[in-house]
Structure 1
Amino acid sequence: MVHPYVISTLLSLTALAGYVAATYQVGIGIYDCTGPAAGVTFMGYAKSKQIGCGIHLRQFARSYIIDDGETRVAYVTVDTCMISHGLKKEVLSRLRKRFNGTYGYQNVILSGTHTHSAPGGYMMDMLYDIPDKGFVGETFMVLADGITKAIVQAHTNMVEARIFIATGEIIDANINRSPYSYLNNPEEERAKYKYDTDKDIVQLKFVRASDDVPIGAINWYAVHPTSMNNTNCLITSDNVGYASILLEQFVNGGTIVGKGPFVGAFASTNLGDVSPNLRGPKCINTGEDCDFKTSTCNGEAKYCIASGPGKDMVESTSIIANRLLSKAKELFIQNEKEELTGPVRFIHKFVDVPKQKIKIRAANGTEIEVRGCTPAMGQAFAAGTTDGPGEFDFRQGTKSDNPIWNYIRDLIFPPSEDVKQCHSPKEILINSGKIKFPYEWQPEIVATQLVMIGQVVLAAVPGEFTTMSGRRLRATVKDSIVRNGGPANARIIITGLSNLYTSYIATFEEYQIQRYEAASTIFGPHSLAIYQSVYSDLAEAMLKGEEVPPGPIPPDFRSQLISFTPPVIFDASPKGAHFGDCVQQPPDEVRIGETVSAKFISGHPRNNVKQGKTFLTVEKQLENKTWQIVYTDANWETRYKWKKTCLFKGTSEATVEWDITGDVEPGTYRLRHFGHYKLIIGAILPYSGTSKSFVVTK
């Protein structure tokens, strides 16, 4: 069998024949940033009961550094829900100690993939950390550590390289989850596009100049990583994270995940109103279609849930990931590629959005002045989406007030008439911009940033742009680039959920409908227009080589953070047993296509997150009687599950599961578990356990 890496290299050699010498230095890095595997609430669905109970796929930070000899930029895509200002600040602080001023706010983009199945508690904005019981230091520190190490790895691996861009179309991997809102955009604007979501996939491919071997790739495709729904409690990077792993395995070969040398990523873009659940929303209590406007079933949002394309959420994740992979592989090996040429540029500015005032053209043709609003969330925000509905009696697409919730709101912090008018027609549920206890609930100062590599422009945006919002911003930035002497073939890529998080950005027309995305557009109806103005000015300044004022630095809340996540007190093993004992053995023989498992006495996984390591291994016995690791807890084929068996005694158990897929070689295997337990005096000690061996047959 020819190694996949050899195949991809040969294909690359064919594709690159005749190209001129490279002009960039490129570094690639990847590092584990998996948070606490259990006991911490997941970030994304805002479900306080969605608490981690193990690992299906580990989280990774994938780093790409590009240098033209004079200017350097770093782009990092992270398997986490989003990026907070505090997290980026911590990463830059660590990099500053190692590399002085090489990396800063201006030339580093940190972008979250937006998986909804990873530990939360790291945002440092109160509203986003509330469902996660406040700040969780373990989540924050492992993210900061993993991102930093990925950048350091890329920094030390710089080589001369060429960069190529390719585009394609994936029809069957996303749908619009708010089509009612989308249809409120102008008909003549909608007529310019074939679909109500962006179906384009854009790929940057990095190829080492010395031997034409591919060293990395980044793919941008608009889809929410919400194939795994809010009942899932295993950490996973979801559809785009699995697609990244599949691409890396395609090039690198082998089964071990996260070790390189090739690093492939699927990163977020304008995914705000885009869902992977292709069957669309149905009433799970009746099987009928949900109400088109409000996404309710007989007035209740909790029964209106989207799913598919698989029979369950795990199969759906795999299907979407493989559809992304299929087109990415096609782009990866195709001969027709456009090479990036030209300098590297960057520009960055912090903007206090509520203080922004701009002139826009009204529908009647007159010029009017509009402004940003202080942050506020609408009532439809609490309704959730068809990927993950909310609770109580909230509905999407409603602009009528609710006296009960308004009364509760006004007891906490009532919005002024000016705030109500600014956000109209949003019916405000949370007047978050005015709540400063115990610290800021949502940011008012945002990070805006452009990075230009040849003819490619990365627009790093601090939130989730809807499909049409992203289209408008791309058009605005390109117009500014071309008007100011930039390349006519400039390709603008929205890099979503970057550097700081401000929820959603809907168009003015979508805002009038007040579905979830609009209710979560925190700076009011003209948020998009303000961003368009800011990014247009940034593009002009970048092309002209002008410096822009850095703007006001967002506040730092490190000294005010609170947490209600209880610590691990101690672990204990049952009487007469030891940590690591295998209390449920696998059978003597299992067949390919079956699932095998073993159960072990364990300690709490929060005692040690096993960064860069694993809670499990699947090992194959070789002819010399030694054991070879073939899978870890980062593989799709495995699952690490943890459960507390007695709260008062401090006992728990870990289950290791392995799906034996068709590419597994028959032979003798065993399952192992690794962990740490905590003594009542505070000491944390390692342990391991091994199952008996078993035979895998066809």
Structure 2
Amino acid sequence: MTLLKFMDDEWGPIGSFNWFATHGTSMSRTNSLISGDNKGAAARFMEDWAEQNGYPKEDSGLRADLYGSIIKRYPRRVSNIVPQPNKNFDELIQLASSIEATGGRRLSSTSQRIRSNDMPKFVSAFCQSNCGDVSPNVLGTFCIDTGLPCDFNHSTCNGKNELCYGRGPGYPDEFESTRIIADRQFEKAVELFNSASEEIQGKIGSRHIYMDFSKLEVAITASNGKQEVVKTCPAAMGFAFAAGTTDGPGAFDFTQGDDTGNPFWRMVRNVLKKPGKEQVSCQSPKPILLDTGEMDTPYAWAPAVLPLQILRIGQLVILSVPGEFTTMAGRRLRDAVKAVLIKEGNREFNKNIHVVIAGLTNTYSQYVTTFEEYAIQRYEGASTLYGPHTLSAYIQEFRKLASAIAQGQAVSSFVSPPDLLDKQISLLTPVLVDTTPLGVHFGDVSTDVPENSTFNKGQIVNATFWSACPRNDLLTNGTFALVEMLDSSTNEWVPLYDDDDWSLRFKWFRPSKLSSRSYATLEWRIPENTPTGVYRLRHFGASKRLFGGVSHFTGTSRAFAVL
């Protein structure tokens, strides 16, 4: 992991960016909740850690003058609300049992996040890098029918890829696996943040070009030591692409490591587009399943023109690549760029230069493997679009960008990507109408917290509300769910957690696909550091009328005590 720490003369630490390679696939494809996966969780953990440690500094006059009222309305640290835990359990239980659900009501304005964007905040980014062959499911791959390890070379179980899955460290709980992998990244980031001592110094600059990777000439050193010129190919996907990976297996009889294909799927492929002899030869040893680079209905199935970008911030150099490089492919690219910068940088760069890869940036063009990995034709090689010399093409062009930035020269693009905005299609049907039964309001509780409920730390509280489709309003900078705590000193409800918190989940569903009715379940896993007190769950949403606009609503559960 490489971490960049941001400091301000007045505010102190204000943020950090780090680069570390691992797929965001701790959550499996069976998870239907929107999630930032392990990197999103790690960023949430670090931003909360920063706030708990007073970053940015809270004693700034500017912060106190401009944002004091917001801090009072939306305190994040529960110690600000309850200085001393209330040990009178009987009184708490009695108070909680006296507070019923409010019922749904209309709102004139939308909800607001606890972490308001109107105040200075510590920003933490857990950036992606060359994650092409890096899985967060670190316990290995196992067959779900027998529990035995999968076949090593083909990631199959008795010849079937569908049964081979990777296991995360929290197996069988994928939420726990996500938390563990996120926590490991978070803890390393905090370690690097606290020990950061090398100050960034020097120039700031960048270079950006577009290149056509479907027919790029590349100079390489052949096995006999002589120089020769090869070409990249129009994009194509191999048979092993359809096998998927152990983070998400494919279907049918596809397997990883397939460098031959089979007659049936070749026949199916030919119905869509049969690749020509030149394309087959160019992509070899990849057997082509989908000739995406030569398919253009309703528009191109794969990009041909790719953006390449290099950014320099002092001795930190960021390579923005539009794909998922494998570990070794990324290492070779970094080493090549570093060598050029040191050689041509007029002693501006030395061996202390830090080169990082920012993966999946500016556009997406699948995977990039080494020449040797491509020959094996596992999933990553089959998903390397532009043939066996794809990595060599990237290295060649990034060397040119590195030379340009080292010598202060400009670069020019001779091609540009097509503008497809007016050709976009969507298969997502619009929301027609949201309804509730007669006499029921949006935001009313359907299944409430049980009466006279008490919960301990670590337990789960949930309530289900009559709701509406979340696509009516995504509540940007707002929230669909809140956990509120009763402040006994003011008798006001104070928001403590929203749907951006790891402990609170918002689950929306319809009783049937064609139903206009829907529900929202709020599920709170009570954190161990939650203070004793009286709490309730609040839901926000927006409903759509058949002939009209969208109306916002809210509703709360009955109160309960946390002991």
TM-score, structure 1 as length reference: 0.70
Which residue does the alignment assign to 1:621? Answer: 486
Q: Larger Rg: 1 or 2?
A: 2
1:275 aligned counterpart, secondary structure: coil
Deviation at 1:209, TM superposition (A): 2.2
Deviation at 1:483, TM superposition (A): 1.0
CA contact (8 A) 1:571 1:603 kept: yes
CA contact (8 A) 1:221 1:267 kept: yes
Which residue does the alignment assign to 1:636? Answer: 502
Q: Which amino acid aligns with 2:141?
A: P
Deviation at 1:257, TM superposition (A): 4.8
Which residue does the alignment assign to 2:43? Answer: 244
Q: Which amino acid aligns with 1:470?
A: G
Q: Which amino acid aligns with 1:234?
A: L
CA contact (8 A) 1:353 1:444 kept: yes
- Asked if 1:322 corresponds to 2:183, the answer is yes
1:195-243 per-residue CA deviation (whole Å, 9 max, x = no partner) reads xxxxxx11000011235x1001011111111110110000110111111
- Asked if 1:656 corresponds to 2:518, the answer is no
2:552 aligned counterpart, secondary structure: strand
Which residue does the alignment assign to 1:459? Answer: 319
Which residue does the alignment assign to 1:351? Answer: 211
1:591-642 per-residue CA deviation (whole Å, 9 max, x = no partner) reads 2211001110011111111111000110000021101100001110000001
CA contact (8 A) 1:353 1:446 kept: yes
Which residue does the alignment assign to 1:602? Answer: 467
Q: Which of the numbers 1, 9, 20 marks the counterpart of 1:209? A: 9
Which residue does the alignment assign to 2:394? Answer: 531
Which residue does the alignment assign to 2:110? Answer: none
Q: Which of the numbers 555, 574, 577 marks the counterpart of 2:418? A: 555
2:49 aligned counterpart, secondary structure: helix
1:518 aligned counterpart, secondary structure: helix
- Asked if 1:370 corresponds to 2:230, the answer is yes
- Asked if 1:428 corresponds to 2:288, the answer is yes
2:225 aligned counterpart, secondary structure: coil
1:270 aligned counterpart, secondary structure: coil
Instruction: Describe how 1:20-31 pairs up with structure 2 within 5 A.
Output: none
- State the percentage of identical aligned residues: 44
Deviation at 1:682, TM superposition (A): 3.8
State how far apart, in whole Å, the 1-side matches of 2:268 and 2:556 are.
55
1:229 aligned counterpart, secondary structure: coil
- Asked if 1:235 corresponds to 2:98, the answer is no
Deviation at 1:521, TM superposition (A): 0.2
Q: Which amino acid aligns with 2:7?
A: V
Q: Which amino acid aligns with 1:277?
A: N
1:373 aligned counterpart, secondary structure: coil
State how far apart, in whole Å, the 1-side matches of 2:340 and 2:495 are.
53
Deviation at 1:647, TM superposition (A): 4.4
- Count matched residues: 495
Q: Which amino acid aligns with 2:395?
A: Q
**Where in structure 1 are there 5+ consecutive unaligned residues?**
1-200
Which residue does the alignment assign to 1:391? Answer: 251
Instruction: Describe how 1:134-145 pairs up with structure 2 within 5 A.
Output: none
Q: Which amino acid aligns with 2:278?
A: D
2:475 aligned counterpart, secondary structure: coil
Q: Which of the numbers 317, 328, 349 marks the counterpart of 1:487? A: 349
1:368 aligned counterpart, secondary structure: strand
1:338 aligned counterpart, secondary structure: coil
- Asked if 1:667 corresponds to 2:530, the answer is no
Which residue does the alignment assign to 1:407? Answer: 267
Which residue does the alignment assign to 1:112? Answer: none
Q: Which of the numbers 378, 381, 384 marks the counterpart of 1:521? A: 384
State how far apart, in whole Å, the 2-side matches of 1:340 and 1:591 are.
48
Deviation at 1:261, TM superposition (A): 1.2
State how far apart, in whole Å, the 1-side matches of 2:34 and 2:180 are.
18
1:540 aligned counterpart, secondary structure: helix
Q: Which of the numbers 432, 456, 462 marks the counterpart of 1:569? A: 432
TM-score, structure 2 as length reference: 0.86
State how far apart, in whole Å, the 2-side matches of 1:575 and 1:514 are.
59
In structure 2, the CA distance between the partners of 1:647 and 1:270, relative to structure 1 (3 Å rule), is closer
Which residue does the alignment assign to 1:542? Answer: 405
Q: Which of the numbers 505, 511, 521 marks the counterpart of 1:645? A: 511
- Asked if 1:304 corresponds to 2:151, the answer is no
CA contact (8 A) 1:223 1:275 kept: yes
2:511 aligned counterpart, secondary structure: strand
State how far apart, in whole Å, the 1-side matches of 2:254 and 2:261 are.
10
Bigger Cα displacement from structure 2, 236-245 vs 643-652: 643-652
State how far apart, in whole Å, the 1-side matches of 2:512 and 2:131 are.
42
Q: Which of the numbers 537, 562, 583 marks the counterpart of 2:446? A: 583
Deviation at 1:575, TM superposition (A): 2.2
Deviation at 1:576, TM superposition (A): 2.1
CA contact (8 A) 1:352 1:444 kept: yes
Which residue does the alignment assign to 1:140? Answer: none
Q: Which amino acid aligns with 2:349?
A: P
* Structure showing greater relative contact order (alpha-carbon pairs closer than 8 Å, 6 or more residues apart): 2
Deviation at 1:442, TM superposition (A): 0.7
CA contact (8 A) 1:257 1:635 kept: no
- Asked if 1:266 corresponds to 2:266, the answer is no
- Asked if 1:280 corresponds to 2:174, the answer is no
1:260-286 per-residue CA deviation (whole Å, 9 max, x = no partner) reads 511111100000000010111111111
Q: Give the aligned CA root-mean-square deviation in angstroms.
A: 1.2
Deviation at 1:258, TM superposition (A): 7.1
State how far apart, in whole Å, the 2-side matches of 1:564 and 1:261 are.
38
State how far apart, in whole Å, the 2-side matches of 1:345 and 1:209 are.
23
- Asked if 1:218 corresponds to 2:9, the answer is no
State how far apart, in whole Å, the 2-side matches of 1:216 and 1:566 are.
40
CA contact (8 A) 1:249 1:257 kept: no
State how far apart, in whole Å, the 1-side matches of 2:369 and 2:148 are.
28
1:317-349 per-residue CA deviation (whole Å, 9 max, x = no partner) reads 111111111111111112x51111001010010
Which residue does the alignment assign to 1:360? Answer: 220
State how far apart, in whole Å, the 2-side matches of 1:208 and 1:511 are.
46
Which residue does the alignment assign to 1:88? Answer: none
Q: Which amino acid aligns with 1:578?
A: H
Moved over 2 A (4+): 253-260, 646-649
